[in-house]
Protein backbone atom coordinates (compact mmCIF):
# COMPACT_ATOMS: atom_id res chain seq x y z
CA UNK A 1 0.00 0.00 0.00
CA UNK A 2 1.16 3.54 -0.75
CA UNK A 3 1.95 5.93 2.05
CA UNK A 4 0.30 8.99 0.49
CA UNK A 5 -1.80 10.37 3.37
CA UNK A 6 -4.24 12.03 0.93
CA UNK A 7 -5.59 8.62 -0.04
CA UNK A 8 -6.71 7.87 3.53
CA UNK A 9 -10.16 8.89 4.75
CA UNK A 10 -9.37 7.64 8.26
CA UNK A 11 -6.10 7.38 10.20
CA UNK A 12 -6.02 6.08 13.77
CA UNK A 13 -2.45 6.34 15.03
CA UNK A 14 -0.97 4.78 18.19
CA UNK A 15 -4.36 4.22 19.87
CA UNK A 16 -4.18 2.80 23.40
CA UNK A 17 -7.02 2.12 25.82
CA UNK A 18 -6.83 0.77 29.36
CA UNK A 19 -9.53 -0.58 31.63
CA UNK A 20 -8.97 -1.60 35.26
CA UNK A 21 -6.76 -4.68 35.17
CA UNK A 22 -6.42 -4.90 31.38
CA UNK A 23 -4.81 -3.01 28.49
CA UNK A 24 -7.41 -3.46 25.76
CA UNK A 25 -5.49 -1.55 23.05
CA UNK A 26 -1.74 -1.08 22.83
CA UNK A 27 -0.53 1.41 20.19
CA UNK A 28 -2.88 0.31 17.40
CA UNK A 29 -2.71 1.86 13.90
CA UNK A 30 -5.56 1.73 11.36
CA UNK A 31 -5.57 3.53 8.00
CA UNK A 32 -8.61 3.26 5.73
CA UNK A 33 -8.46 4.42 2.09
CA UNK A 34 -11.22 6.54 0.57
CA UNK A 35 -13.88 4.49 -1.19
CA UNK A 36 -12.48 1.17 0.03
CA UNK A 37 -13.79 -1.77 2.04
CA UNK A 38 -11.30 -2.44 4.82
CA UNK A 39 -11.55 -5.71 6.76
CA UNK A 40 -10.74 -5.48 10.48
CA UNK A 41 -9.98 -8.97 11.73
CA UNK A 42 -8.89 -10.69 14.91
CA UNK A 43 -10.08 -13.22 17.45
CA UNK A 44 -12.74 -12.21 19.96
CA UNK A 45 -10.95 -10.13 22.57
CA UNK A 46 -8.38 -8.86 20.04
CA UNK A 47 -9.66 -5.30 20.54
CA UNK A 48 -11.61 -4.67 17.31
CA UNK A 49 -14.80 -3.45 18.98
CA UNK A 50 -12.85 -1.39 21.51
CA UNK A 51 -10.95 0.33 18.69
CA UNK A 52 -14.21 1.16 16.92
CA UNK A 53 -15.75 2.46 20.14
CA UNK A 54 -12.74 4.78 20.50
CA UNK A 55 -13.37 6.03 16.97
CA UNK A 56 -17.10 6.43 17.62
CA UNK A 57 -16.66 8.43 20.84
CA UNK A 58 -18.09 5.72 23.09
CA UNK A 59 -14.68 5.21 24.75
CA UNK A 60 -12.03 7.87 25.33
CA UNK A 61 -8.51 6.93 24.24
CA UNK A 62 -5.66 6.97 26.76
CA UNK A 63 -3.16 7.61 23.97
CA UNK A 64 -3.15 8.21 20.21
CA UNK A 65 -4.86 10.50 17.73
CA UNK A 66 -7.43 10.25 14.93
CA UNK A 67 -7.47 12.03 11.59
CA UNK A 68 -10.67 11.90 9.52
CA UNK A 69 -11.16 13.40 6.06
CA UNK A 70 -8.04 15.52 6.45
CA UNK A 71 -8.92 16.91 9.89
CA UNK A 72 -7.76 15.94 13.38
CA UNK A 73 -10.83 14.75 15.29
CA UNK A 74 -11.75 13.47 18.74
CA UNK A 75 -15.40 12.48 18.76
CA UNK A 76 -16.88 12.77 22.25
CA UNK A 77 -20.11 10.87 21.59
CA UNK A 78 -21.78 8.70 18.98
CA UNK A 79 -23.93 11.70 17.97
CA UNK A 80 -20.76 13.74 17.43
CA UNK A 81 -19.40 10.97 15.17
CA UNK A 82 -22.68 10.61 13.27
CA UNK A 83 -22.90 14.38 12.71
CA UNK A 84 -19.41 14.27 11.20
CA UNK A 85 -19.98 11.40 8.78
CA UNK A 86 -19.09 8.26 10.77
CA UNK A 87 -21.82 5.67 11.40
CA UNK A 88 -21.81 2.13 12.75
CA UNK A 89 -23.99 -0.94 12.26
CA UNK A 90 -23.55 -2.88 15.50
CA UNK A 91 -23.48 -6.68 15.65
CA UNK A 92 -25.91 -6.66 18.57
CA UNK A 93 -28.87 -4.66 17.25
CA UNK A 94 -30.02 -1.87 19.57
CA UNK A 95 -33.47 -1.01 18.28
CA UNK A 96 -36.70 0.22 19.83
CA UNK A 97 -38.57 -2.92 18.88
CA UNK A 98 -42.04 -1.72 19.90
CA UNK A 99 -41.95 1.16 17.38
CA UNK A 100 -42.13 1.32 13.58
CA UNK A 101 -39.23 0.85 11.19
CA UNK A 102 -39.22 4.50 10.11
CA UNK A 103 -39.28 5.69 13.75
CA UNK A 104 -36.10 3.68 14.37
CA UNK A 105 -34.35 5.10 11.30
CA UNK A 106 -35.09 8.76 12.12
CA UNK A 107 -35.00 8.49 15.93
CA UNK A 108 -33.68 11.72 17.44
CA UNK A 109 -33.97 13.66 14.15
CA UNK A 110 -37.60 13.36 13.10
CA UNK A 111 -38.61 15.71 10.29
CA UNK A 112 -41.08 18.27 11.61
CA UNK A 113 -43.87 20.43 10.30
CA UNK A 114 -44.32 23.21 12.81
CA UNK A 115 -44.49 21.62 16.25
CA UNK A 116 -45.39 18.17 14.95
CA UNK A 117 -43.55 15.26 13.36
CA UNK A 118 -43.97 15.27 9.59
CA UNK A 119 -45.14 11.68 9.16
CA UNK A 120 -45.52 11.96 5.38
CA UNK A 121 -41.96 13.22 4.87
CA UNK A 122 -40.55 10.57 7.22
CA UNK A 123 -42.38 7.88 5.22
CA UNK A 124 -41.22 9.29 1.85
CA UNK A 125 -37.59 9.62 3.02
CA UNK A 126 -37.60 6.05 4.33
CA UNK A 127 -39.07 4.73 1.06
CA UNK A 128 -36.39 6.65 -0.88
CA UNK A 129 -33.57 5.00 1.10
CA UNK A 130 -35.20 1.56 0.81
CA UNK A 131 -35.54 2.05 -2.94
CA UNK A 132 -31.88 3.05 -3.21
CA UNK A 133 -30.85 -0.04 -1.24
CA UNK A 134 -33.44 -2.36 -2.82
CA UNK A 135 -35.01 -3.15 0.57
CA UNK A 136 -38.59 -4.40 0.39
CA UNK A 137 -40.08 -3.53 3.78
CA UNK A 138 -43.04 -1.45 4.92
CA UNK A 139 -41.70 1.59 6.86
CA UNK A 140 -44.80 1.49 9.09
CA UNK A 141 -44.22 -2.13 10.18
CA UNK A 142 -43.21 -2.69 13.81
CA UNK A 143 -39.57 -3.71 14.30
CA UNK A 144 -40.61 -6.51 16.67
CA UNK A 145 -42.38 -8.21 13.73
CA UNK A 146 -39.15 -8.45 11.68
CA UNK A 147 -36.77 -11.35 11.21
CA UNK A 148 -33.25 -10.75 12.55
CA UNK A 149 -32.00 -10.40 8.97
CA UNK A 150 -34.62 -7.73 8.22
CA UNK A 151 -33.70 -5.83 11.37
CA UNK A 152 -30.08 -5.91 10.18
CA UNK A 153 -31.10 -4.33 6.86
CA UNK A 154 -32.98 -1.59 8.75
CA UNK A 155 -29.79 -0.76 10.67
CA UNK A 156 -27.81 -0.56 7.44
CA UNK A 157 -30.48 1.76 5.96
CA UNK A 158 -30.24 3.93 9.07
CA UNK A 159 -26.45 4.20 8.68
CA UNK A 160 -26.86 5.21 5.03
CA UNK A 161 -29.50 7.79 6.00
CA UNK A 162 -26.80 9.86 7.74
CA UNK A 163 -25.01 10.36 4.39
CA UNK A 164 -21.95 8.92 6.08
CA UNK A 165 -18.46 9.03 4.59
CA UNK A 166 -17.45 6.00 6.68
CA UNK A 167 -19.69 3.12 7.80
CA UNK A 168 -18.47 0.53 10.29
CA UNK A 169 -20.20 -2.84 9.83
CA UNK A 170 -19.72 -5.24 12.74
CA UNK A 171 -20.53 -8.82 11.67
CA UNK A 172 -23.22 -7.57 9.24
CA UNK A 173 -23.95 -11.00 7.73
CA UNK A 174 -24.18 -13.01 10.95
CA UNK A 175 -27.94 -13.52 10.45
CA UNK A 176 -28.20 -13.27 6.66
CA UNK A 177 -28.82 -15.99 4.10
CA UNK A 178 -26.57 -16.41 1.08
CA UNK A 179 -29.04 -14.43 -1.05
CA UNK A 180 -29.21 -11.62 1.52
CA UNK A 181 -25.40 -11.52 1.75
CA UNK A 182 -25.35 -11.00 -2.02
CA UNK A 183 -27.82 -8.12 -1.55
CA UNK A 184 -25.62 -6.57 1.15
CA UNK A 185 -22.55 -6.80 -1.08
CA UNK A 186 -24.51 -5.04 -3.84
CA UNK A 187 -25.22 -2.21 -1.37
CA UNK A 188 -21.56 -2.03 -0.32
CA UNK A 189 -20.37 -1.82 -3.94
CA UNK A 190 -22.87 1.00 -4.57
CA UNK A 191 -21.48 2.83 -1.52
CA UNK A 192 -17.93 2.43 -2.84
CA UNK A 193 -18.94 4.11 -6.10
CA UNK A 194 -20.03 7.10 -4.00
CA UNK A 195 -16.54 7.17 -2.39
CA UNK A 196 -17.98 5.92 0.93
CA UNK A 197 -15.51 3.80 2.93
CA UNK A 198 -16.57 0.72 4.89
CA UNK A 199 -14.79 -0.91 7.83
CA UNK A 200 -15.94 -4.51 7.63
CA UNK A 201 -15.61 -6.64 10.78
CA UNK A 202 -16.22 -10.32 10.07
CA UNK A 203 -14.87 -13.78 10.78
CA UNK A 204 -16.12 -15.22 7.50
CA UNK A 205 -13.06 -15.66 5.31
CA UNK A 206 -15.02 -16.19 2.10
CA UNK A 207 -16.68 -12.78 2.52
CA UNK A 208 -13.40 -11.00 3.21
CA UNK A 209 -11.92 -12.31 -0.04
CA UNK A 210 -15.06 -11.41 -1.97
CA UNK A 211 -15.83 -7.86 -0.82
CA UNK A 212 -12.76 -6.33 0.87
CA UNK A 213 -9.85 -4.37 -0.61
CA UNK A 214 -7.51 -4.29 2.40
CA UNK A 215 -7.26 -6.17 5.68
CA UNK A 216 -5.87 -5.21 9.08
CA UNK A 217 -5.27 -7.99 11.60
CA UNK A 218 -5.24 -7.40 15.38
CA UNK A 219 -4.21 -9.77 18.16
CA UNK A 220 -4.29 -9.24 21.94
CA UNK A 221 -4.97 -5.53 21.58
CA UNK A 222 -2.08 -4.93 19.18
CA UNK A 223 -1.78 -4.16 15.46
CA UNK A 224 -0.25 -7.16 13.71
CA UNK A 225 -0.40 -6.42 9.97
CA UNK A 226 -2.16 -4.48 7.20
CA UNK A 227 -2.18 -5.97 3.71
CA UNK A 228 -3.92 -5.62 0.38
CA UNK A 229 -6.40 -8.49 0.06
CA UNK A 230 -4.66 -9.45 -3.21
CA UNK A 231 -1.38 -10.01 -1.34
CA UNK A 232 -2.50 -12.30 1.47
CA UNK A 233 -4.08 -15.75 1.65
CA UNK A 234 -6.82 -17.01 3.95
CA UNK A 235 -4.33 -19.28 5.74
CA UNK A 236 -2.00 -16.32 6.32
CA UNK A 237 -4.85 -14.22 7.76
CA UNK A 238 -5.84 -17.04 10.14
CA UNK A 239 -2.22 -17.57 11.17
CA UNK A 240 -1.83 -13.83 11.94
CA UNK A 241 -5.10 -13.80 13.90
CA UNK A 242 -4.43 -16.79 16.14
CA UNK A 243 -0.63 -16.55 16.28
CA UNK A 244 -0.29 -20.11 15.09
CA UNK A 245 -1.10 -22.23 12.06
CA UNK A 246 -4.67 -23.51 11.95
CA UNK A 247 -4.53 -26.06 9.18
CA UNK A 248 -8.01 -27.52 9.71
CA UNK A 249 -11.12 -25.43 10.35
CA UNK A 250 -12.91 -28.37 11.99
CA UNK A 251 -11.66 -30.92 14.53
CA UNK A 252 -11.74 -34.63 13.64
CA UNK A 253 -15.13 -36.17 14.45
CA UNK A 254 -14.54 -38.80 17.13
CA UNK A 255 -18.13 -39.14 18.39
CA UNK A 256 -20.11 -42.29 17.58
CA UNK A 257 -23.94 -41.94 17.56
CA UNK A 258 -25.58 -44.72 19.56
CA UNK A 259 -29.17 -45.55 20.54
CA UNK A 260 -32.06 -43.13 20.14
CA UNK A 261 -32.36 -40.82 23.16
CA UNK A 262 -35.01 -38.35 21.94
CA UNK A 263 -38.08 -38.78 19.75
CA UNK A 264 -40.11 -35.84 18.45
CA UNK A 265 -43.41 -36.65 16.73
CA UNK A 266 -45.81 -34.27 14.94
CA UNK A 267 -44.55 -31.20 16.80
CA UNK A 268 -46.79 -28.27 15.86
CA UNK A 269 -46.70 -24.78 17.36
CA UNK A 270 -50.01 -23.55 18.76
CA UNK A 271 -49.50 -20.01 17.49
CA UNK A 272 -49.04 -19.84 13.71
CA UNK A 273 -47.24 -19.23 11.43
CA UNK A 274 -44.60 -21.46 12.93
CA UNK A 275 -43.56 -25.12 12.84
CA UNK A 276 -46.02 -27.75 11.69
CA UNK A 277 -45.94 -31.54 11.95
CA UNK A 278 -42.19 -31.95 12.55
CA UNK A 279 -40.99 -35.46 13.44
CA UNK A 280 -37.44 -36.76 13.96
CA UNK A 281 -35.25 -38.71 16.37
CA UNK A 282 -31.92 -37.87 18.00
CA UNK A 283 -29.29 -40.37 19.06
CA UNK A 284 -27.05 -40.42 22.09
CA UNK A 285 -23.65 -39.07 21.05
CA UNK A 286 -25.05 -37.44 17.90
CA UNK A 287 -24.77 -33.87 16.56
CA UNK A 288 -27.88 -33.13 14.51
CA UNK A 289 -27.74 -29.97 12.40
CA UNK A 290 -30.81 -27.86 11.58
CA UNK A 291 -30.52 -26.10 8.21
CA UNK A 292 -32.89 -23.81 6.33
CA UNK A 293 -33.30 -20.34 4.91
CA UNK A 294 -34.35 -17.34 7.01
CA UNK A 295 -38.05 -17.83 7.74
CA UNK A 296 -37.76 -21.62 7.80
CA UNK A 297 -38.64 -21.54 11.54
CA UNK A 298 -35.47 -23.29 12.75
CA UNK A 299 -35.45 -21.26 15.97
CA UNK A 300 -39.16 -21.99 16.50
CA UNK A 301 -38.33 -25.70 16.40
CA UNK A 302 -35.73 -25.66 19.20
CA UNK A 303 -37.81 -23.21 21.26
CA UNK A 304 -40.83 -25.51 20.97
CA UNK A 305 -38.80 -28.48 22.19
CA UNK A 306 -37.56 -26.35 25.11
CA UNK A 307 -41.13 -25.24 26.01
CA UNK A 308 -40.24 -21.64 25.17
CA UNK A 309 -43.13 -21.87 22.70
CA UNK A 310 -46.41 -23.68 23.28
CA UNK A 311 -46.68 -26.66 20.93
CA UNK A 312 -48.65 -29.86 20.52
CA UNK A 313 -47.19 -33.24 19.57
CA UNK A 314 -45.15 -35.84 21.39
CA UNK A 315 -41.64 -35.58 22.87
CA UNK A 316 -40.05 -38.72 24.32
CA UNK A 317 -36.80 -38.85 26.30
CA UNK A 318 -35.46 -42.37 26.90
CA UNK A 319 -38.85 -43.70 25.79
CA UNK A 320 -40.76 -41.65 28.39
CA UNK A 321 -43.17 -38.98 27.20
CA UNK A 322 -42.28 -35.47 28.36
CA UNK A 323 -44.84 -32.76 29.14
CA UNK A 324 -42.76 -29.64 29.67
CA UNK A 325 -44.78 -26.80 31.15
CA UNK A 326 -41.91 -24.30 31.03
CA UNK A 327 -38.21 -23.97 30.16
CA UNK A 328 -37.41 -24.54 33.85
CA UNK A 329 -39.18 -27.90 33.62
CA UNK A 330 -37.15 -28.75 30.50
CA UNK A 331 -33.90 -27.82 32.27
CA UNK A 332 -34.73 -30.09 35.20
CA UNK A 333 -35.24 -32.95 32.75
CA UNK A 334 -31.81 -32.55 31.14
CA UNK A 335 -32.37 -30.01 28.35
CA UNK A 336 -30.32 -26.86 27.70
CA UNK A 337 -30.78 -24.05 25.15
CA UNK A 338 -28.13 -21.63 23.88
CA UNK A 339 -30.24 -18.90 22.24
CA UNK A 340 -29.52 -17.11 18.96
CA UNK A 341 -29.86 -13.57 20.33
CA UNK A 342 -27.07 -13.56 22.89
CA UNK A 343 -27.59 -10.00 24.18
CA UNK A 344 -31.41 -10.12 24.23
CA UNK A 345 -32.02 -13.60 25.66
CA UNK A 346 -28.65 -15.12 26.61
CA UNK A 347 -26.84 -12.91 29.10
CA UNK A 348 -27.66 -10.83 32.16
CA UNK A 349 -25.61 -7.83 30.97
CA UNK A 350 -25.40 -5.94 34.26
CA UNK A 351 -24.29 -9.01 36.24
CA UNK A 352 -20.83 -10.51 36.54
CA UNK A 353 -19.46 -13.70 35.01
CA UNK A 354 -20.05 -15.69 38.19
CA UNK A 355 -23.78 -14.81 38.24
CA UNK A 356 -24.13 -15.57 34.53
CA UNK A 357 -22.36 -18.92 34.98
CA UNK A 358 -24.47 -20.32 37.83
CA UNK A 359 -27.91 -18.77 37.30
CA UNK A 360 -29.40 -21.73 35.36
CA UNK A 361 -28.42 -24.04 38.22
CA UNK A 362 -29.06 -21.79 41.22
CA UNK A 363 -30.84 -24.48 43.32
CA UNK A 364 -27.56 -26.43 43.50
CA UNK A 365 -25.91 -23.60 45.46
CA UNK A 366 -28.55 -23.02 48.15
CA UNK A 367 -27.55 -24.55 51.49
CA UNK A 368 -29.94 -25.86 54.16
CA UNK A 369 -29.82 -22.50 55.96
CA UNK A 370 -30.92 -20.81 52.68
CA UNK A 371 -27.55 -19.11 52.23
CA UNK A 372 -25.57 -19.50 49.02
CA UNK A 373 -22.59 -21.84 48.98
CA UNK A 374 -19.99 -19.26 47.89
CA UNK A 375 -17.18 -21.85 47.81
CA UNK A 376 -19.05 -24.06 45.34
CA UNK A 377 -20.10 -21.02 43.27
CA UNK A 378 -16.45 -19.92 43.02
CA UNK A 379 -15.29 -23.44 42.16
CA UNK A 380 -17.93 -23.95 39.44
CA UNK A 381 -17.40 -20.49 37.94
CA UNK A 382 -13.66 -21.10 37.73
CA UNK A 383 -14.35 -24.45 36.08
CA UNK A 384 -16.61 -22.79 33.48
CA UNK A 385 -14.03 -20.06 32.77
CA UNK A 386 -11.16 -22.55 32.48
CA UNK A 387 -13.02 -25.20 30.47
CA UNK A 388 -14.27 -22.61 27.96
CA UNK A 389 -11.00 -20.60 27.89
CA UNK A 390 -12.86 -17.36 28.68
CA UNK A 391 -10.62 -14.30 28.45
CA UNK A 392 -11.45 -12.19 31.52
CA UNK A 393 -9.58 -10.37 34.30
CA UNK A 394 -11.83 -11.90 36.95
CA UNK A 395 -15.02 -13.87 37.58
CA UNK A 396 -16.39 -10.62 39.05
CA UNK A 397 -16.04 -8.83 35.70
CA UNK A 398 -19.36 -7.68 34.22
CA UNK A 399 -20.23 -9.96 31.31
CA UNK A 400 -21.24 -6.97 29.16
CA UNK A 401 -17.58 -5.84 29.14
CA UNK A 402 -16.45 -9.11 27.47
CA UNK A 403 -16.22 -9.63 23.71
CA UNK A 404 -19.14 -11.38 22.02
CA UNK A 405 -17.23 -14.63 21.69
CA UNK A 406 -16.29 -14.69 25.36
CA UNK A 407 -19.89 -13.94 26.33
CA UNK A 408 -20.95 -16.97 24.27
CA UNK A 409 -18.36 -19.13 26.01
CA UNK A 410 -19.75 -18.10 29.42
CA UNK A 411 -23.28 -19.03 28.27
CA UNK A 412 -22.16 -22.48 27.09
CA UNK A 413 -20.23 -22.95 30.33
CA UNK A 414 -23.40 -22.06 32.26
CA UNK A 415 -25.36 -24.82 30.54
CA UNK A 416 -22.55 -27.34 30.96
CA UNK A 417 -22.89 -26.85 34.72
CA UNK A 418 -26.50 -28.11 34.48
CA UNK A 419 -25.13 -31.40 33.07
CA UNK A 420 -27.72 -31.64 30.25
CA UNK A 421 -28.42 -34.74 28.21
CA UNK A 422 -29.82 -32.82 25.23
CA UNK A 423 -28.07 -29.63 24.18
CA UNK A 424 -30.03 -27.26 21.90
CA UNK A 425 -27.68 -24.71 20.28
CA UNK A 426 -29.14 -21.93 18.12
CA UNK A 427 -26.34 -20.36 16.02
CA UNK A 428 -23.72 -21.14 18.71
CA UNK A 429 -20.80 -19.64 16.75
CA UNK A 430 -22.57 -16.49 15.53
CA UNK A 431 -20.11 -13.58 15.62
CA UNK A 432 -17.25 -15.72 16.92
CA UNK A 433 -13.75 -15.82 15.43
CA UNK A 434 -12.12 -18.83 13.77
CA UNK A 435 -10.00 -19.78 16.78
CA UNK A 436 -12.95 -19.65 19.20
CA UNK A 437 -15.18 -21.44 16.67
CA UNK A 438 -12.71 -24.32 16.55
CA UNK A 439 -12.78 -24.49 20.37
CA UNK A 440 -16.59 -24.66 20.38
CA UNK A 441 -16.66 -27.30 17.62
CA UNK A 442 -14.18 -29.35 19.66
CA UNK A 443 -16.30 -28.90 22.78
CA UNK A 444 -19.42 -30.09 20.92
CA UNK A 445 -17.61 -33.17 19.60
CA UNK A 446 -16.20 -33.90 23.08
CA UNK A 447 -19.70 -33.63 24.58
CA UNK A 448 -21.10 -35.98 21.92
CA UNK A 449 -18.15 -38.29 22.56
CA UNK A 450 -19.33 -38.49 26.19
CA UNK A 451 -22.83 -39.47 25.10
CA UNK A 452 -24.52 -36.06 25.06
CA UNK A 453 -27.00 -35.40 22.24
CA UNK A 454 -26.75 -32.05 20.43
CA UNK A 455 -29.10 -30.20 18.11
CA UNK A 456 -27.37 -27.29 16.35
CA UNK A 457 -29.12 -24.61 14.29
CA UNK A 458 -26.71 -22.92 11.89
CA UNK A 459 -26.81 -20.60 8.88
CA UNK A 460 -23.24 -21.55 7.95
CA UNK A 461 -23.25 -24.44 5.51
CA UNK A 462 -19.56 -25.14 6.08
CA UNK A 463 -19.99 -25.79 9.81
CA UNK A 464 -23.08 -27.94 9.30
CA UNK A 465 -21.09 -30.11 6.89
CA UNK A 466 -17.97 -29.98 9.07
CA UNK A 467 -19.39 -30.83 12.50
CA UNK A 468 -22.71 -32.69 12.31
CA UNK A 469 -23.62 -36.35 11.81
CA UNK A 470 -26.99 -35.69 10.19
CA UNK A 471 -28.76 -32.55 8.97
CA UNK A 472 -32.49 -31.86 9.29
CA UNK A 473 -33.60 -29.32 6.68
CA UNK A 474 -36.51 -26.98 7.44
CA UNK A 475 -38.64 -25.11 4.90
CA UNK A 476 -41.61 -22.88 5.73
CA UNK A 477 -41.99 -24.40 9.19
CA UNK A 478 -42.00 -28.00 7.98
CA UNK A 479 -39.32 -30.65 7.75
CA UNK A 480 -38.12 -30.91 4.14
CA UNK A 481 -35.88 -33.89 4.82
CA UNK A 482 -33.05 -35.40 6.88
CA UNK A 483 -29.71 -36.28 5.26
CA UNK A 484 -26.56 -38.03 6.45
CA UNK A 485 -23.81 -35.40 6.54
CA UNK A 486 -21.10 -37.58 5.00
CA UNK A 487 -23.40 -38.50 2.09
CA UNK A 488 -24.90 -35.10 1.24
CA UNK A 489 -23.80 -31.96 -0.61
CA UNK A 490 -24.36 -28.25 -0.18
CA UNK A 491 -26.48 -28.32 -3.33
CA UNK A 492 -28.81 -30.99 -1.92
CA UNK A 493 -29.30 -29.04 1.32
CA UNK A 494 -30.06 -25.82 -0.56
CA UNK A 495 -32.49 -27.67 -2.81
CA UNK A 496 -34.36 -29.05 0.23
CA UNK A 497 -34.27 -25.61 1.90
CA UNK A 498 -35.97 -24.05 -1.11
CA UNK A 499 -38.82 -26.59 -1.22
CA UNK A 500 -42.20 -24.95 -0.81
CA UNK A 501 -44.12 -27.15 1.59
With contact defined as beta carbons under 8 Å apart, do 168 and 89 qualify?
yes
| Sequence-distant (≥ 6) Cβ neighbours of residue 6 within 8 angstroms | 70
Task: Identify the pLDDT of residue 307.
Answer: 95
Provide the strand spans (E) within 95-154.
Answer: 112-113, 116-117
Task: Identify the pLDDT of residue 290.
Answer: 97
| Sequence-distant (≥ 6) Cβ neighbours of residue 244 within 8 angstroms | none
Residue 2 has pLDDT above 50, yes or no: no
Task: Identify the pLDDT of residue 473.
Answer: 96
Task: Identify the pLDDT of residue 13.
Answer: 97
Confidence of residue 45 (pLDDT cuts 50, 70, 90): confident
Domains of the chain: 5-242 (3.40.50.300), 258-334+421-430+453-501 (3.40.50.300), 342-419 (no CATH)
Confidence of residue 344 (pLDDT cuts 50, 70, 90): low
**Quick check: pTM over 0.75?**
no
Q: What is the mean pLDDT of the chain?
A: 88
d(CA 495, CA 473): 10
Confidence of residue 205 (pLDDT cuts 50, 70, 90): confident
With contact defined as beta carbons under 8 Å apart, do 202 and 181 qualify?
no
Residue 501 has pLDDT above 70, yes or no: no
Mean pLDDT on 36-60: 90
Buried b (16+ CB within 10 A) or exposed e, 107-141: eeeeeeeeeeeeeeebbebbeebbeebebebebee
**32 vs 398 pLDDT, higher one:** 32
DSSP string, 408-471: HHHHHHHHHTT--SEEEEESTTTT--HHHHHHHHHHHHHHHHTT-EEEEE-S-HHHHHHH-SEE
Provide the strand spans (E) within 232-357.
Answer: 260-269, 278-283, 287-291, 311-317, 320-322, 335-338
Mean pLDDT on 235-263: 84
Cis peptide bond upstream of 273, omega within 30: yes
Q: Residue 415, class by beta-carbon neighbours within 10 Å (0-12 exposed, 13-18 middle, 19+ buried)?
A: buried
Residue 469 has pLDDT above 90, yes or no: yes
Residue 1 has pLDDT above 70, yes or no: no
Mean pLDDT on 52-69: 94
Residue-wise pLDDT tens digits, 360-369: 878 888 888 8
Mean pLDDT on 427-446: 82
Q: How many angstroms separate the Cα of 324 from the Cα of each of 247, 295, 415?
A: 44, 25, 18
Residue-wise pLDDT tens digits, 143-157: 988 877 788 889 888
Amino acid sequence: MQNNNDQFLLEMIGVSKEFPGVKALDGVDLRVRKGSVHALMGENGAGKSTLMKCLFGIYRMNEGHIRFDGEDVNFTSSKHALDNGVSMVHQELNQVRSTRIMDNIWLGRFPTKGLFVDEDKMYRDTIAIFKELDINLNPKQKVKELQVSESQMVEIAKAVSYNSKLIVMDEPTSSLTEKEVGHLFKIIRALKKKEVSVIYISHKMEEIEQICDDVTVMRDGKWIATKSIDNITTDEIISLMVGRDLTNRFPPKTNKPQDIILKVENLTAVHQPSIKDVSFDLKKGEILGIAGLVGAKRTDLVESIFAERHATGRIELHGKEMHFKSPEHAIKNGFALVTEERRATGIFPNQNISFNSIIANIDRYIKKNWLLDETKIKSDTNWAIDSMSVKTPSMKTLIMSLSGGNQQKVIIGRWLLTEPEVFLMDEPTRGIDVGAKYDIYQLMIDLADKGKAIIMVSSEMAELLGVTDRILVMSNGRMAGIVNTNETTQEEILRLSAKFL
